[in-house]
Amino acid sequence: MRQPLPGGMPALFSRSNEQRVSCMKLDSFLDSTDRLATLVPELLHLLGEKEEVPTSWRALLERSGALRRQGGKLSLVATLYGPTGAGKSTLFRQLTGIEVPAGDEIRPLSRGCAMAVPEQWDQAERGPALRSVLPGFDLRPLDRPDRLRQEDGQGLVWYRSAERLGGESRGEAGPGAPGLFLVDVPDFNSLEIANHERAERVLRRAEVVVFVVTGDSYADQKVVEELARCCQVAARLVILITKVASAEKARLKWADLLDDKLTRPDLPWRAKFQGKREDKRTLEEFLRGCPVHAWPFSANPSLEDLRPVTEGAPSLASLLLGLDAEKVAAEGLLQAGASTREWIGQLADRAEAARKERQGWRASLDEDLARAGLAVAGHEFPIGRTLEVLMEESRAGQNRMFQWITYPISRISGWLQGGFQVVTETIRSAISQPGPGSELVRLEVAERKSLLKVAEELTDKWRDRLPAWVGKLDSDRCRQARAALEAVTLPAPKTDWEGTLRQAAKEWVEKNPTLAHTLPTVLDMTAVGGLGLFVLDLSFAGGLLGSHVVLGSLGTGGLVAGGAGLAAVLARMADRMHFRGVLEEADRAWREQRGREIADHLRQHLLPALLGEKLKETDRLTSFPVEEMRRLATELTRKPDHE
Ligand SMILES: Nc1nc2c(ncn2[C@@H]2O[C@H](COP(=O)(O)OP(=O)(O)OP(=O)(O)O)[C@@H](O)[C@H]2O)c(=O)[nH]1
Ligand SMILES: [Mg+2]
């Protein structure tokens, strides 16, 4: 949800007139994040990817959410993070005085998250302010520390106030002062998977990470992987090596990790630390710059023994308390943004590849539909309308220019007369006794039958060849889709195709005035009503058309001149009267138009029932604003010029 920037933005962003520009930049950073927060999940869903989203992306959402909500003063969240038994809870107890369970033999010990808040925050009326520091978390006052041993809900954080940190005062913390919120979380490596999720959830929000690891486990695979994750998302990282013989031993172990384990070309670890941070340093360079502390082994560990491995460096507590909250918070946001940007770039690349693939798939569906439409339309010849238009144009021709010509019927050859009588009679009887096997059928009867047939062919074909992202089609679904298709009436053809037919008929009349003059007389259709509704069923006629399958045929095979059926007689008439060209034009225009109409009908009524959501998703992916996403991602790295 987009929230307006808080009125009193952190001084960092609104200190002076100049800073107002920075403020605008921050605004655009947060706006871009908001928009991406809508686009990215949608795209992941469309791509059907199960892959985990990177921590930095979630960190960006957590941190920008917190930044939007915290007016005036920013607070930092620091998390302890480390494998089970490393000593996180022991450290937390000693730093804050909050008696969280620590040190038992059974691992893992902590299952809940404990947070130490500055004293003045631990009051009921500050609840909303507290929630603005960790938006989306379920914050509850820690009544019994024992709770932390129990299985907890996700996002649950138990808090209690701690006046001091490691014996050091938190400073003159007035009610509005920025705070440091220290969180003890469960481990990331035990068999309790839910623990890892809890720890990672806090890690995403935390700008500061204290990575706690024992001297024995510094070179564990999981430890190093998590270390890389921290380098990627944390604004500040502090290393604490526990249970070592001495600070010097800790230093040696750390040097072994940095100078040997992480740099050896034969090991995969080096590559994990070569990514760039927001300030262009590699993760490795960043890690080398992190302060390292040691806590030598003791039956009763005490903070006094915890010290930086570099002489003269500040204590852990003063290091944490000395952080510039605004600077570190901004770094936390930008670091998450920078590492997200790269991922969004890759996501956009994948979206483009998937889009291409899916467009190809859609086009192949369209081709199949077009072919199916032509198969249906190609099985019928619109004989009714063709003859009607021929006669209309012949009559119009008579009226227009041939009134003075009179051709007695006797002048017309007997063959023609006889031929037309056969046509007329066959048409009359076919219309009066429609039935199976008739060459002449009503258009909707012919089409209903062929439509279901092609629907079956299409579903069979698609079932076997669906791309993986569509998933499987079961036979029930196919049946339902065909039933859905059957339930809707195929719309009547539009009359556009008749324009072509009429034009061809007009030309015929002009070229053959004599024949045109006699046609209405010899082709006696006066007693036949509604002839236009009928088509020749070419699968029965064996083709008016040489080869009658799929693509019709007048154009390719020519009229069938032999045989005794209606089609054959009509074909002979057409040759005698030279209107074969008219039939061919009619056939072509009809097939093109009706084929398209039927393909559209199938697209509208068969596809949705069959492919439903997947089709919508494919269309959405095809028009997904990938470019906008790329552009927004570039906004995530623009640093507000506050330095
Ligand atoms: N922190 C710390 N603990 C030490 C040290 N030496 C020994 N220990 C013991 O190591 C154990 C650490 O236990 P916890 O603090 O519960 O460890 P944790 O990291 O919280 O473990 P989980 O809650 O299981 O993730 C305690 O028993 C400590 O007494 C040391 O130098 N530092
Ligand atoms: Mg613990």
Pocket test for ligand 1, best of 79, 81, 88, 90 (most atoms within 8 A of CB): 90
Structure tokens at 520: 């209405």
pLDDT at 559 over 70: no
Pocket test for ligand 1, best of 84, 89, 309 (most atoms within 8 A of CB): 89
CA distance to 96, 481, 523, 619, per residue, from 183 (Å): 10, 56, 97, 45
* Contact present, 574 and 567 (Cβ < 8 Å): no
- Give the model's pLDDT for residue 551: 33
Atom 27, ligand 1: residue with shortest CA distance: 103
Local confidence band at 21 (pLDDT 50, 70, 90 cut-offs):
very low
Q: What is the pLDDT of residues 46-91, one digit of tens each?
A: 998 777 899 999 999 999 999 888 865 788 999 999 999 999 999 9
Closest CA to 184 of 170, 168, 171, 165: 165
The 3 state secondary structure assigned to 380-420 is EECHHHHHHHHHHHHHHHHHHHCCCCCCCHHHCCHHHHHHH
10 lines ligand 1 (CB under 6 A): no
Domains of the chain as residue ranges with CATH: 69-163+179-319 (3.40.50.300), 354-621 (no CATH)
Distance 307 CA to ligand 1 centre (A): 16
Q: How many CB atoms lie within 10 A of CB 326?
A: 19
* Contact present, 206 and 77 (Cβ < 8 Å): yes
302 lines ligand 1 (CB under 6 A): no
Helices 193-205/55-69 angle, 10° precision: 50
54 lines ligand 1 (CB under 6 A): no
Least confident of 16-30, 271-285, 448-462: 16-30
Q: What is the pLDDT of residues 364-412, one digit of tens each?
A: 999 999 999 999 998 889 999 999 999 999 988 877 655 555 555 556 6
Q: Which residue has the higher pLDDT, 242 or 404?
A: 242
Instruction: Give the CA dihedral 352, 276, 221, 83, nearest 10 degrees.
Output: -110
Determine whether 51 is exposed, middle or buried from the number of CB atoms within 10 Å of its CB (0-12, 13-18, 19+).
exposed
- Give the model's pLDDT for residue 624: 96
**Three-state SS at 559:** strand
Quick one: which atom of ligand 1 is closest to the CA of 93?
Answer: 15
pLDDT at 147 over 70: yes
> How many helices and strands (H and E) does the chain possess?
23, 14
H or E stretch including 99? none
* Ligand nearest to the CA of residue 107, numbered in listed order: 1
For the chain, how long is the longest CA-to-CA vector?
130
195 lines ligand 1 (CB under 6 A): no
Q: Where are the alpha helices (DSSP H) in 214-273?
A: 221-233, 247-256, 269-272
pLDDT at 17 over 70: no
Atom 28, ligand 1: residue with shortest CA distance: 103
Q: What is the pLDDT of residues 82-105, one digit of tens each?
A: 999 999 999 999 999 999 999 888
**End-to-end distance of the chain based on CA atoms, in angstroms?**
30
Q: What is the pLDDT of residues 103-141, one digit of tens each?
A: 888 899 999 999 999 888 877 777 888 899 999 999 999
User: CA 231 to CA 81: how far, in whole Å?
Assistant: 12
pLDDT at 267 over 50: yes
101 lines ligand 1 (CB under 6 A): no
Q: What is the pLDDT of residues 460-505, one digit of tens each?
A: 999 888 888 888 888 899 999 999 999 999 999 999 999 999 999 9
- Give the model's pLDDT for residue 513: 85
User: CA 334 to CA 328: how far, in whole Å?
Assistant: 10
* Contact present, 603 and 7 (Cβ < 8 Å): no
Mean pLDDT of 435-460: 87
Determine whether 579 is exposed, middle or buried from the number of CB atoms within 10 Å of its CB (0-12, 13-18, 19+).
buried
* Contact present, 198 and 186 (Cβ < 8 Å): yes
Local confidence band at 6 (pLDDT 50, 70, 90 cut-offs):
very low
Size of the chain in residues: 643
Closest CA to 440 of 566, 583, 584, 587: 566
Q: Which residue has the higher pLDDT, 22 or 275?
A: 275
Atom 13, ligand 1: residue with shortest CA distance: 103
Distance 209 CA to ligand 1 centre (A): 17
Closest CA to 110 of 180, 188, 182, 163: 188
Mean pLDDT of 167-184: 73
Q: What is the pLDDT of residues 602-632, one digit of tens each?
A: 999 999 889 888 888 988 999 999 999 999 9
* Contact present, 448 and 491 (Cβ < 8 Å): no
- Give the model's pLDDT for residue 402: 54
Contacts 24+ apart (CB under 8 A), 34-40: 34/2, 34/64, 35/628, 35/632, 36/344, 36/629, 36/632, 36/633, 36/636, 37/61, 39/624, 39/625, 39/628, 39/629, 39/632, 40/344, 40/347, 40/629
- Give the model's pLDDT for residue 195: 94
| AA identity, residue 313 | A
Mean pLDDT of 262-283: 93
Mean pLDDT of 302-330: 91
Residue appearing with tokens 């100078």: 259
Local confidence band at 530 (pLDDT 50, 70, 90 cut-offs):
confident
- Give the model's pLDDT for residue 64: 93
| AA identity, residue 370 | A
pLDDT at 170 over 80: no
| AA identity, residue 494 | K
Quick one: which atom of ligand 1 is closest to the CA of 300?
Answer: 29
109 lines ligand 1 (CB under 6 A): yes
- Collect all residues with Cβ–Cβ distance below 8 Å to 593 and sequence separation of at least 6: 377, 493, 494, 496, 497
Give strand pairing partners of 236: 208
User: CA 238 to CA 316: how far, in whole Å?
Assistant: 8
91 lines ligand 1 (CB under 6 A): yes
610 lines ligand 1 (CB under 6 A): no
